[in-house]
């Protein structure tokens, strides 16, 4: 929904020397040893993060090209391997190589709420992650890794025309068509099995649509800086509340007219040079680079579609909202408006998070997902 309304420096190498260090020379200072140790840790974390991203891309590549993985072609799904339960009590490690701030600490076991509750004892330990407009399942790679390390089962879905899904975005004409990979996934769940739906950005409207269709298959719904509307509203109706107040969004939007300039736009894209300021203002540079080559246009018809949400179905699913306080795409005032208009069960505030907390605050976001999953 927020999608609507450098660098490498050459190392200065010292010239080689043939002199050996005198045995009487003073030892390396503790600050030098600390700097070297910290650099090695950051390098290890960066290599680990690259390996995770490469594994996800490899799986998606196999899926897209008819590989041996038994995944539906319309979705990018990741499931915990056989060792997940064995490692369920191990400490999650960060997928980010950036320096950690005090508002995004490495989680310690005693910091997790309801720590006496085991993951296997929850009503469901299965998260289904739904990306926002222009994004894809790829944007969740840090969240997937952290949740799986904690013993959770995770599925990340590519909506129609997103991520590695091959459908042409400009040919999408309805919400039902756009969210079909998600609704197909929920429809195939075994009877009695439930999931926790997580929607980001325009993904909030998508999970709302799914909640109306499959309320008995959804334990909880989490909205992360996402569109959360009332019945009869469209995402565009919500966006219009901030019309004129978000100049950056207006500057970034590029409307595409596949049916001709005299017809309504079929999709919209974002100006690459403005992506960082709009969506990733607090994200690591490498994640911004990943997004800049991975994002695709957002279909316009689903954004215009007004949803029919009933108290019996949509209203029966427990809703939780995670606010992103440094968001330039969906300002906190707009998030507050949606929350006040349709109050969820509980609201969480993610400090220091921009519009993409799965990149800017992966550990803090993970902590909230785990906390919400354990709310009885």
- Strands (E) across the chain are located at 126-130, 153-157, 195-200, 218-224, 253-256, 267-270, 298-299, 318-324, 346-350
The catalytic position among 104, 158, 201, 354 is 201
The catalytic position among 200, 327, 354, 366 is 327
335: left (phi over 0), alpha (psi -120 to 50) or beta: alpha
Q: How far apart are CA 130 and CA 279, in angstroms?
A: 17
The catalytic position among 126, 165, 355, 366 is 355
Whether 72 is a known active-site residue: answer: no
Q: How far apart are CA 119 and CA 112, in angstroms?
A: 12
Torsion of CA 368, 369, 371, 375, to 10 degrees: 130
Q: Which residues of 14-28 are buried (b: 16+ CB within 10 A; e: fewer)?
A: eeeeeeeeeeeeeee
How far from 324 is each of 295, 298, 361, CA to CA, in Å?
Answer: 21, 22, 10
Alpha helices in 150-245 (DSSP H): 175-178, 180-187, 203-213, 235-239
What SS3 state is found at 29? coil
Q: At what angle do helices 141-149 and 362-373 cross, to 10 degrees?
A: 50
Whether 355 is a known active-site residue: answer: yes
Is the distance from CB of 302 to CB of 172 less than 8 angstroms?
A: yes
Whether 165 is a known active-site residue: answer: no
Residues classed as catalytic:
201, 327, 355
């Amino acid at each position: 929904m927020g999608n609507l309304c450098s660098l490498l420096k050459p190392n200065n190498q010292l010239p080689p020397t043939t002199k050996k260090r005198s045995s009487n020379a003073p030892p390396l200072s503790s600050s030098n040893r600390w700097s070297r140790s910290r650099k090695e840790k950051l390098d290890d974390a960066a290599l680990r993060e690259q390996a995770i991203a490469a594994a996800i891309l490899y799986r998606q590549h196999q899926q897209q090209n008819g590989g041996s993985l038994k995944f539906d072609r319309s979705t990018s799904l990741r499931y915990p391997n056989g060792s997940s339960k064995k490692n369920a009590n191990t400490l999650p490690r960060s997928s980010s190589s950036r320096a950690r701030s005090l508002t995004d600490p490495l989680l310690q076991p005693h910091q997790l709420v309801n720590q006496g509750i085991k993951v296997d004892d929850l009503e469901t330990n299965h998260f289904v992650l739904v990306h926002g407009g222009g994004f894809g399942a790829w944007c969740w790679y840090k969240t997937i890794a952290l949740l799986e390390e904690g013993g959770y089962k995770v599925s990340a879905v590519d909506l129609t025309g997103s991520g590695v899904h091959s459908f042409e975005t400009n040919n999408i004409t309805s919400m039902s068509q756009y969210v079909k990979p998600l609704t197909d996934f929920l429809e195939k769940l075994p009877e009695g099995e439930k999931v926790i739906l997580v929607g980001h950005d325009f993904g909030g409207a998508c999970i709302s649509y799914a909640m109306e269709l499959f309320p008995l298959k959804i334990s909880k719904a989490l909205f992360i800086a996402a569109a959360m509307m009332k019945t009869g509203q469209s995402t565009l109706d919500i966006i219009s509340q901030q019309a004129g107040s978000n100049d950056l969004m207006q500057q970034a939007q590029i409307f595409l007219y596949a049916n001709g300039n005299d017809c309504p736009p079929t999709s919209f894209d974002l100006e690459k040079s403005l992506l960082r300021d709009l969506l990733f203002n607090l994200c690591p540079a490498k994640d911004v680079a990943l997004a800049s080559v991975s994002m695709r246009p957002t279909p316009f018809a689903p954004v215009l579609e007004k949803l029919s949400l009933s108290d019996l179905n949509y209203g029966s699913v427990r809703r939780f909202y995670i606010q992103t306080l440094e968001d330039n795409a969906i300002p906190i005032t707009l998030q507050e408006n949606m929350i006040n208009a349709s109050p969820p069960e509980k609201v969480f505030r993610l400090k220091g998070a921009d519009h993409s907390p799965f990149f800017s605050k992966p550990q803090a976001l993970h902590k909230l997902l785990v906390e919400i999953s354990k709310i009885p």
